[in-house]
Amino acid sequence: MSRREIDHPSLQRPFYALRAPADGAEDAKHAAEARRDAIRQAAERFAVYMQAEEFVSHTTAAILWGIAMPMLRDERIHVSVPAPHRAPRGAGVRGHQLKAAGVVVMEHPELGMRVSDPASTWALLGGILRHPYDLVAAADSIVWVDRVAGPFGRMVAPALAGIDDLTRSIPSGRRGVVALRSALPYVRTGVASRPETWTRLTLIDAGLPEPATDVDVYDPAGEFVGCVDLAYVSLRIAMEYEGDHHRTDPAQWQRDIEKHDRLAELGWRVIRVTRSMVFDDPGTLITRVRAALRDRT
């Protein structure tokens, strides 16, 4: 490329001396996902500069691993080095110097860059995520096993790490250790999303029984009916979180209707949970679940 082409305003300048194609027109993605995409792209570009001792960490590593988190305002990418190396500095970068013994570093299997492993990344989030539910949600997403529901279901993808890995990742003397240790007893497998974690913990903190997660339901003949997010199985009470894709995907919407009709035929009471009920008006959620428990007991 000529100098004129390199300096053309159509090219972005994400970091000093680096050029990148300009982004296309924004699509209809949710703002949080669009921001995650931007940070993921910035990390991939910064990998051009990374020294042998540097690795992506903290919230940036969480985004690369697909760990559940709230939308964060900080758009800088987090890059760490083990002591005594000096933390990287520069526009768009937040550098950290970490104790070498406290973090496991590996190569990301898809992106090929050095990154803190999922369990270490969760431990680093202990000093960043302010709400205790979010720290549990991040851990839930790490230990979650993606599977096809039903009797002949298969594993789609293994968990990023196990609960034992999370336990070993908690270092002593680091910021956020108390929050990490407090969150660990509430981590559960089978939780597919951050709102499901918030729903479960909201009910527990309200003094209600803890529901089971990722429950397969069968009819008396043994035929698979469907999988529900959260359930009080013995009382046949199910709680289903209705994310945006349940409303905007016609096929998903039809599957939900059929599943809920079948559950109702079998005597299940289905409480459909919305984002507003979880994050804005948890009192409504608690009231509905408490009423269902009272009616069934």
Choose the final residue of a domain: 154, 186, 218: 186
The predicted-structure confidence for 178-222, as pLDDT tens digits, reads as follows 999 999 999 999 999 999 999 999 999 999 999 999 999 999 999
The reply to whether 206 and 252 lie within a common domain is: yes
The reply to whether 165 and 201 lie within a common domain is: no
- We report the CATH number of the domain holding residue 266 as 3.40.960
Please give the average per-residue pLDDT across 63-91, as a whole number.
Answer: 91
Split into its structural domains, the chain has a count of 2
Choose the final residue of a domain: 144, 170, 186: 186
Q: Which band of pLDDT confidence, cut at 50, 70 and 90, is reported for residue 17?
A: confident
The reply to whether 174 and 198 lie within a common domain is: no
- Listed in sequence order, the residues at least 6 apart from 116 whose beta carbon sits closer than 8 Å to its beta carbon are 55, 56, 57, 58, 61, 80, 103, 104, 105, 106, 124
The reply to whether 40 and 63 lie within a common domain is: yes
The reply to whether 55 and 94 lie within a common domain is: yes
The predicted-structure confidence for 113-166, as pLDDT tens digits, reads as follows 999 999 999 999 999 999 999 999 999 999 999 988 888 778 888 999 999 999
The reply to whether 97 and 180 lie within a common domain is: yes
The reply to whether 151 and 200 lie within a common domain is: no
Choose the final residue of a domain: 186, 219, 240: 186
pLDDT at 13: 75
Q: Domain residues for 226? A: 194-296
The predicted-structure confidence for 20-60, as pLDDT tens digits, reads as follows 876 543 443 467 788 888 899 999 999 988 999 999 999 99
Phi-psi region of 170 (alpha: psi -120 to 50; beta: other; left: phi over 0): beta
